[in-house]
Structure 1
Amino acid sequence: MNWQIQQILRRRRGAETGAIPAGCGGALSVCLVYPNHYAVAMSSLGFQTVYKLFNDQPDLVCERAFLPDRDELDAYLKSGDTLVSLENERPLSDFDLVAFSISFEPDFVNIPRILKLARIPSCAADRTGADPLVIAGGAAFLINPEPAAEFFDLIAFGEGEALIPPLAALCVQHVAASREMLLQELGRLAGSYLPAAGHDTAVQRITAPAAAPPACSVLLTDETEFGNMFLVEVSRGCPRGCRFCAAGFVYQPFRQQPLELLKAAVLEGLQHRKTIGLVGAAVSDHRSIEALCNFIVEQDGSPSLSSLRVDRLTPHMLELLAKSGHRTISLAPEGGSQRMRDLIRKNLTADQILDAAEAVARAGILNLRLYFIIGLPGENDQDLEELVKLTAAIKERVVEQARRHKRLGEITLSVNPFIPKPFTPLQWAGMCPLEELKRKVAWLEKRIRPLANLRLKVEDLHGCVLQALLSRGGRELTPLLLQMAEGLNLRKAAKLCGIDVEACVTRIYAPDEKLVWEVAPVADRERLLTEYQAAMKQLPEEQTP
């Protein structure tokens, strides 16, 4: 093997703590693959959890592999070496099972890249008994598996704690069976979807048992976004039901870990890292979040929360965060105007947002990150004007508090375009056209630029269009993914494959239309439709579909 590749893999192994020894024993060999770079993969608590779950199963050994970084990829291409696992530098094609864990739709593009490097046929239909079984799971497939379905022999719908033990046991039991017989047996498991067999009947989504312990960091390394943290999942799902967000509908019911279990996880984490990263779609909605943060501080640790719900802030919580060294707090008004916040069911008023921003600054945390969505159904320039006015008012409140602290902070507006996600009430709505999004961004830049200590950060619009396309499309996108994996950009790949991207992402679906992503009905369709109709009532009649 190329010495550069070996050097990179050795460095990574040497920088990790907590890796599970991957011996040569075990009836079943599994390679767990994250279709992005190592630093991205190891920042994912979900990926780490699945790694531990596989290795917890008897008679099974699980290793890991990733999309090579640029230098690593160059070494693979120059040497002609096949992609290998991190632990034992074993070719992926030598494993019994290659399991992809995928959280985000744009990573679909990297699936055929990885399989090509591993010398495994990209499409399941082209594989033989000599090839590993290639399976997948993760949040991206709960939303819409179809664009990438033909790459896999099996897709597992649900949460790893419930899916992996029976799947692993069956694979171990039938490890010597033919590919066809093993797939036939696996297809009988709850949550299993065999893409080659189609989906005439809906696949059942499997939820983790209520008694499942909190997911925590398994491996620690500085080569990740959260290298200084020990991550602990405090809850799963979200009780809010914002109409644009999949977390409130896909991961139901909302589950909160008991405080005592979380304290035990924190004590374990503090042996390795001073900062405890609290993970979940609705961290601040946990019934004991303040008590947990208080406990972390009492143990001389520092709690870190990805974002705080505006209406869940308390002076004591902010005091704890300030005391533990927080310099930035993220708040998510989402809608710039009251009309847009009502449309997405955010249940926040401008006064609540202003009071929360002032409370954060009063506590001495003077850097704010504000999350907004543009391009929502029915949005107009007046809504954008209100977004700017709200931001300016937030700035005034923060500056007033900053004077008391005798130092200035910075406010960052993180602006993302609306993407109509499957299994949300707004799944029937269309995305704002790309050129109109560009106009809105230019308008915001012009209005925000004169405001001091304000920074506008906009998500890559072309990347968001790709995400929307892969969220809404079907198997007609498989050729497009294959072309993009070879290096074509979205525009060129779509032209070559005859796909009208704009028509797909901006399309408004009829309520009674069969939707391509409804392979596994992970949310109640009637509830989604009721919420969609309620959202559309916020719009003038001429803007209603």
Structure 2
Amino acid sequence: MSRRAKTRRVDPLAEERTLCQSSRERALLKMCVVYPNHYRTAMSSLGFQTVYRLLTTTPGIHCERAFLPERDDLEEQRRSGLPLLSLEGRRPLSDFDLIAFSTSFEPDYVNLPLMLDLARIPLYSHQRDESLPLVMAGGAALFLNPEPVADFLDLVCIGEGEEILPSLVSTLMAPTSSDRRELLTALSRLPGIYVPRFHHPRYESGRLAGFEHDPGSAGFIPRVSAELERHPPAQTVILTENTEFGDMFLVEVSRGCPHGCRFCGAGFIYGRFRQQPYQALVDAIERGLEHRGKIGLVGAAVSDYRDIGRLCRHVVERGAKVSVSSLRIDRTDPDMLDALVASGHKTISLAPEGGSQRLRDLIRKNLTEEQILDACERIIARDILNLRLYFIIGLPTETESDLEELVRLVTTIRQRVLERGRANRRLGTITLSINPFIPKPFTPFQWCGMEALPSLEAKVKYLEQSLRGMANLQLKVESLKGCYLQALLSRGDRRCSALLELMARGASLKKAARDCAMDTDELVRRAIPLDEPLPWDLIGSADKEQLRKDFQLAFGTNEDRTA
């Protein structure tokens, strides 16, 4: 490998400042936390930083990090044949006792076998013996459906690290046997630990028919939740400008979402909505202000935090700026909006999601057009004239009239922005962000199929034509093919491992599916019968019976649930 490439790969360390103190006890266990994407993306993840803090501060653990190499480095590494190395110690990943993938998004599943291959570690768990590290994974994507990557993993964490990691680490540091199977058996008895090799999918007529379990193995792995009051808020522990939020200190204010929109996993897989105590957040913010002049408040439902206005006001009164990761339309607290204005925000994002009232009711968004317009008015009145509006197309039962109503709503919002802009002699911009519906496990819409790509493309074309010529309005559409892959990995089973292996080696999705003789539409587009076994049935991230009742409440038992 060239000197230039080596320098480029170690540069991030020189620009970091670590705020957590590593344990100084003799290391009994060497662990490498791996994010299956590039450094900049990884270090923008508060979950990844939190797992690193939990491990590196645990007595007896030596913890390092590893990332997917940048494109140029990746090509050179493949040519050189050198193994993937950790960031801190420049150690081959095969030298560690355990490799822990932190995986938030399904598309990153493609990078798991790629990184194992770069590390010169056999891809499949059954190919690895005691001389090689255990391979573990956790994160939101695994809470939803670990099965597409289950064959690559020795164990999966189904739950939150604050609660799972202490007993996991304790078991790893005091093994009763050097035999790998016995160790995995002991680990499988811990709450929230799923060992895929003890559970065997059974297929009939090309579809999953259920699972068979090794003797003594539980047939169901419940998700483990943490009591946030017992733990400090998740917060930035490694400062670097080489992230999406390099100018911010991030603090998690809450976990989960209280609204339970029928298409969104966040309202189901995290259990009840939990909020950090106000004083704990203030203490974390005070630590952050020693290093950054901007505080980023993080959570799936930040604006639902009970003291959000008071918290934002505190940041501004300390002479700092505040940013929030999400803003619900019916939770636009005046103090929060004033703090965002004082922090220099020029754009605010809102998510009506459903383009029509019928669809917003169907997905249980619980928002009326009047509430949407009122929220826009409150924002515009504070002279924030740039709005980003998120909508989903291809929702189950969507029709042309729903799209027409979406266009009318956007046109009305745009007119109000223009009127305010003329009064202030400054025009704002509306960015319309369009995303296709992706069925997600552990939601009431998990049984619904994704709409066909040609149909989605036609809907995008309709929106483009309907909104063409409107000044100060931009239309941005998520990659439909990328969303198709995400849907495949959201709903897939273990047969996806062969497909991921081929994609990791450079094959396109279409070619990999052809070589594997896999009908991807069968997994992505099919409406699944309510009584059919699901790949994620082993995982207890939500109550399946309650989801089934919610589905029936949304559609009725005889309604069509395809788009």
1:203 to 218, 221, 237: 221
- How much does 1:5 deviate? 4.0
Which residues of 2 match residues 294-313 of structure 1 at below 5 A?
A: 294-313=313-332
Question: Would you say the 8 A contact 1:334–1:373 is kept in 2?
Answer: yes
Letter in 2 for 1:343: L
Question: Would you say the 8 A contact 1:18–1:220 is kept in 2?
Answer: yes
Percent identity, please. Answer: 54
Question: Would you say the 8 A contact 1:242–1:344 is kept in 2?
Answer: yes
Residue number in structure 1 paired with 2:203: none
Cα 1:403–1:491 change in 2 (3 A) is same
Question: Would you say the 8 A contact 2:24–2:59 is kept in 1?
Answer: no
Residue-by-residue CA offset, 1:111-135 (whole Å, 9 max, x unaligned): 1110011000010011122111111
> Take 1:283 and 1:338, find their aligned partners in 2: how far apart are those partners?
24
- How much does 1:285 deviate? 0.3
Question: In structure 2, the residue corresponding to 1:332 is in which secondary structure?
Answer: strand
Structure 2 gaps of 5+ residues are 200-210, 214-218
Which residues of 2 match residues 75-224 of structure 1 at below 5 A?
A: 75-174=76-175, 177-198=178-199, 200=213, 201-210=219-228, 211-224=230-243
1:431 to 447, 450, 456: 450
Which residues of 2 match residues 235-254 of structure 1 at below 5 A?
A: 235-254=254-273
Letter in 1 for 2:96: F
> Take 1:297 and 1:38, find their aligned partners in 2: how far apart are those partners?
31
Cα 1:314–1:187 change in 2 (3 A) is closer
Question: In structure 2, the residue corresponding to 1:475 is in which secondary structure?
Answer: coil
Question: Would you say the 8 A contact 1:152–1:195 is kept in 2?
Answer: yes
Which residues of 2 match residues 33-432 of structure 1 at below 5 A?
A: 33-174=34-175, 177-198=178-199, 200=213, 201-210=219-228, 211-432=230-451
- How much does 1:500 deviate? 1.2
- How much does 1:521 deviate? 1.8
Higher deviation after alignment, 475-484 or 172-181: 172-181
The count of corresponding residues between Structure 1 and Structure 2 is 544
Question: Would you say the 8 A contact 2:23–2:59 is kept in 1?
Answer: no
Higher deviation after alignment, 205-214 or 297-306: 205-214
Question: Would you say the 8 A contact 2:299–2:326 is kept in 1?
Answer: no
Cα 1:540–1:340 change in 2 (3 A) is farther
Question: Would you say the 8 A contact 1:536–1:544 is kept in 2?
Answer: no
> Take 1:189 and 1:240, find their aligned partners in 2: how far apart are those partners?
31
- How much does 1:403 deviate? 2.1
> Take 1:426 and 1:457, find their aligned partners in 2: how far apart are those partners?
25
> Take 1:236 and 1:116, find their aligned partners in 2: how far apart are those partners?
34
Residue-by-residue CA offset, 1:167-205 (whole Å, 9 max, x unaligned): 111111129723223212212111111111106401121
2:491 to 452, 463, 472: 472
Letter in 1 for 2:18: G
Residue number in structure 1 paired with 2:16: 16
Letter in 2 for 1:501: T
Higher deviation after alignment, 20-29 or 444-453: 20-29
- How much does 1:483 deviate? 0.6
> Take 2:317 and 2:413, find their aligned partners in 1: how far apart are those partners?
32
1:534 to 541, 546, 553: 553
Question: Would you say the 8 A contact 1:84–1:91 is kept in 2?
Answer: yes
Question: Would you say the 8 A contact 2:22–2:56 is kept in 1?
Answer: no
- How much does 1:542 deviate? 6.0
Question: Would you say the 8 A contact 2:451–2:562 is kept in 1?
Answer: no
- How much does 1:307 deviate? 2.4
Cα 1:283–1:114 change in 2 (3 A) is same
Question: In structure 2, the residue corresponding to 1:425 is in which secondary structure?
Answer: coil
Letter in 2 for 1:454: L
Letter in 2 for 1:16: E
Question: Would you say the 8 A contact 2:23–2:60 is kept in 1?
Answer: no
> Take 2:176 and 2:435, find their aligned partners in 1: how far apart are those partners?
46
Residue-by-residue CA offset, 1:97-122 (whole Å, 9 max, x unaligned): 11111111111100111001100001
> Take 1:400 and 1:540, find their aligned partners in 2: how far apart are those partners?
46
> Take 1:407 and 1:268, find their aligned partners in 2: how far apart are those partners?
38
Question: Would you say the 8 A contact 2:432–2:476 is kept in 1?
Answer: yes
> Take 1:479 and 1:374, find their aligned partners in 2: how far apart are those partners?
31
- How much does 1:408 deviate? 1.1
Letter in 2 for 1:359: R
Cα 1:10–1:25 change in 2 (3 A) is farther
Residue-by-residue CA offset, 1:72-98 (whole Å, 9 max, x unaligned): 212312322111000010110000111
> Take 2:243 and 2:492, find their aligned partners in 1: how far apart are those partners?
32
Residue-by-residue CA offset, 1:378-410 (whole Å, 9 max, x unaligned): 001110111111000000111111223221111
> Take 1:467 and 1:511, find their aligned partners in 2: how far apart are those partners?
22
Residue number in structure 1 paired with 2:206: none
Question: In structure 2, the residue corresponding to 1:83 is in which secondary structure?
Answer: coil
Question: In structure 2, the residue corresponding to 1:498 is in which secondary structure?
Answer: coil
Cα 1:530–1:172 change in 2 (3 A) is same
Letter in 2 for 1:27: L
Residue-by-residue CA offset, 1:415-473 (whole Å, 9 max, x unaligned): 10001100001111111111111111111111122211010111100010011011111
Structure 1 gaps of 5+ residues are none
Cα 1:423–1:313 change in 2 (3 A) is same
Question: Would you say the 8 A contact 2:156–2:193 is kept in 1?
Answer: yes
Higher deviation after alignment, 207-216 or 221-230: 207-216
Higher deviation after alignment, 413-422 or 515-524: 515-524
Question: Would you say the 8 A contact 1:154–1:195 is kept in 2?
Answer: yes
Cα 1:184–1:542 change in 2 (3 A) is closer
Higher deviation after alignment, 188-197 or 87-96: 188-197
> Take 2:362 and 2:69, find their aligned partners in 1: how far apart are those partners?
42
> Take 2:559 and 2:150, find their aligned partners in 1: how far apart are those partners?
39
Letter in 2 for 1:10: V
Cα 1:75–1:398 change in 2 (3 A) is same
- How much does 1:235 deviate? 0.1
Question: In structure 1, the residue corresponding to 2:17 is in which secondary structure?
Answer: coil
Letter in 2 for 1:166: S
Letter in 2 for 1:499: M
Cα 1:475–1:447 change in 2 (3 A) is same
- How much does 1:40 deviate? 0.5
Question: Would you say the 8 A contact 2:103–2:142 is kept in 1?
Answer: yes
> Take 2:85 and 2:562, find their aligned partners in 1: how far apart are those partners?
53
Which residues of 2 match residues 493-512 of structure 1 at below 5 A?
A: 493-512=512-531
